[in-house]
Structure 1
């Protein structure tokens, strides 16, 4: 048996392989350079072009681009009318921004447990958490796998709730053969460098509601508008009004040019991600000490991340030792995520351990393996070799 690198053995790789990375080529660079040489740097024509491209791709009527995914969620919560006293049902298995956006608007996040197979929020758990204070649901497409949107829409319609789909992981993913991005009242996507495409930092909300669209357009720019048909007064062609307490959440034109260029390659990016996932699944299918990701029949994921779950009962150590051993082999593993309500800030708000047992059990045993389009087959093989090496060493 090979000696683990953490104990002085030779690492599987000589260089570190990160868990995620942007894929930027010369056409992307040239698109940004062209804008930098032009007349607009902040909000200009490429913002609208990018919005139109994303909306068309996902099948939505409207899109509003903003400075990051968190801003997009905040904007959507504002447009939904979330305020003091409102409750919003959210998943615990997500980045903190999903529920932070509720807090920004004065609402209260209510965490519903996940389905232990899909790792997405359990629709039955959603219904059990609804009260007369519930205003909205924020389901998260964890890892890129679509939530069971038809079931969630049934619940939302029954109780007159707004759905804000957190699809930060899911641009290009499909639900029952249709791109994620048009089924919920509002759908948020993120363009952080490790996501499906990137604008450096950036986010967007798609919607089919003209009312929500107009509200978000004003909110992202200080709550200010020049739209003549909605001004309370009109002093002249220079005139604008602040109608809400909005924020400066605008995306720049050069970021939008990058995003537009990236959208031209998204299907290639997703195709490669799916190839890598298949290589992982095929390589790990006989490794009984780990569980590979399950995908529901209604979902066709674009695979933002690839999460394995270890079976500690078949190993001599916990997730921590497995994680550290893989890092020592120069495999950039990560963990997504600590259930949100276990963060100290949320604990101080009164949330307690034990709230969502499925999410907590998953967190104890999950590891995210590297996955990004520019990974070579050798990179993938290095990950597989390292995982098998470490599991072999710690097998009972």
Structure 2
């Protein structure tokens, strides 16, 4: 029997193993020089100063810290697509605020800006724009609308490292942009995340937040040293990225362009093979400016389970990204207004296998 084709298959090469060994040989396993270098290199890739990048241990941690950095807390509301990762909802709740679920638009599967505007209340503090599958949501319209209402935009680009909009990287959009480097993202640091912020004051606060509130200088730890005297004047969390993970992330960043191109090729092969199939809706992009994290199809007519079963019998794994948030017991009170597109997409969406360096014969 031939080997099954998984939905995700992270690239782990000789260079990845060498990066891990190099970090272990250094002997400084916590946050240190590799984290500094990872932030600088990520900034270069995104076209921003490395000092504006703060690396953390997960994308969900990055979302939580984004909330705190923008002053979001108890009594506040954050408008988010219901069609989003559970990490966004948990980060909002962890900050003490409440998610308010919004519908998505048919083309990008990102937040419906007009429906979001109708959900704004006196308690609204921010909106989340999430780039599903690496396809940018309507970021220009979202930012313009948020500015009119004096609201913040948290740009969740966890799927979109390497995507561009109007020639600009994803870091150019939002009051804060977050990225994820978990085991199945385009690049992985085994697990990890990052925030891109605007000011040195934000960076300094994030440095404290990610290290249990301690004020010992990140710059000292970046030289693989620690201070034995420090103050704690604010809350904090154990959210820092470790050298081992940062070293692996660095090695993967060097291959980012190759990862993206091979994934684009695979997505275009899917599009060519599946074009014209009755009852099947494909992503509305040619992938020229999209760094695809996943490739999805939408299956109309209630036939998704049949397709999942048939593909599984053929040795092809599939996934569902995502179950809409308003379906979860924890979040049923967060639904407001029309979610008809979300509900339809939630019934139809199916994730196909997509890997970097995916063979054409797959």
Task: Give CA-to-partner distance per residue, 1:158-189, whole Å, 9 cap, x none.
Answer: 11111111111000011111111122111111
For 2:179, what is the secondary structure of its paired residue?
strand
CA contact 1:342–1:353 (8 Å) conserved in 2: no
Task: Report the CA distance shift for 1:193/1:180 in structure 2 as closer, same or farther (over 3 A).
Answer: same
In 2, Cα distance between the equivalents of 1:227 and 1:252?
A: 16
Structure 1: gaps of 5 or more residues: 1-12, 229-236, 380-396
Q: TM-score, normalised on structure 1?
A: 0.85
For 2:104, what is the secondary structure of its paired residue?
coil
Match of 2:3 among 15, 37, 45: 15
For 1:261, what is the secondary structure of its paired residue?
helix
1:391 aligns with none
1:98 aligns with 88
Match of 2:347 among 347, 354, 364: 364
In 1, Cα distance between the equivalents of 2:340 and 2:322?
A: 14
CA contact 1:19–1:332 (8 Å) conserved in 2: yes
For 1:241, what is the secondary structure of its paired residue?
coil
In 1, Cα distance between the equivalents of 2:233 and 2:166?
A: 40
Instruction: State the Cα distance separating 1:201 from its structure 2 match.
Output: 0.9
CA contact 2:177–2:195 (8 Å) conserved in 1: yes
In 2, Cα distance between the equivalents of 1:354 and 1:342?
A: 14
1:269 aligns with 259
CA contact 2:60–2:91 (8 Å) conserved in 1: yes
Match of 2:324 among 328, 333, 339: 339
In 2, Cα distance between the equivalents of 1:337 and 1:15?
A: 26
For 1:378, what is the secondary structure of its paired residue?
coil
CA contact 1:19–1:333 (8 Å) conserved in 2: yes
Structure 2: gaps of 5 or more residues: 219-226
Match of 2:38 among 50, 61, 71: 50
1:310 aligns with 299
CA contact 1:50–1:260 (8 Å) conserved in 2: yes
Instruction: State the Cα distance separating 1:238 from its structure 2 match.
Output: 4.6
CA contact 1:58–1:180 (8 Å) conserved in 2: yes
Task: Report the CA distance shift for 1:355/1:240 in structure 2 as closer, same or farther (over 3 A).
Answer: farther
1:151-170 to 2 correspondence within 5 Å?
Answer: 151-170=141-160
1:320 aligns with 305
CA contact 1:342–1:352 (8 Å) conserved in 2: no
For 2:361, what is the secondary structure of its paired residue?
helix
Instruction: State the Cα distance separating 1:14 from its structure 2 match.
Output: 2.2
CA contact 2:29–2:244 (8 Å) conserved in 1: yes
Instruction: State the Cα distance separating 1:365 from its structure 2 match.
Output: 1.1
State how many pairs are aligned: 352
Task: Give CA-to-partner distance per residue, 1:335-354, whole Å, 9 cap, x none.
Answer: 1001012112212xx24598
CA contact 2:154–2:175 (8 Å) conserved in 1: yes
For 1:307, what is the secondary structure of its paired residue?
strand
What is the root-mean-square deviation in Å for CA atoms of aligned residues? 1.8
1:1-396 to 2 correspondence within 5 Å?
Answer: 14-61=2-49, 62-226=52-216, 238-295=228-285, 300-312=289-301, 318-347=303-332, 350-351=333-334, 355-379=338-362
Q: TM-score, normalised on structure 2?
A: 0.93
Task: Give CA-to-partner distance per residue, 1:50-73, whole Å, 9 cap, x none.
Answer: 011111211233111111111111
In 1, Cα distance between the equivalents of 2:202 and 2:117?
A: 25
Instruction: State the Cα distance separating 1:209 from its structure 2 match.
Output: 2.2
For 1:111, what is the secondary structure of its paired residue?
strand
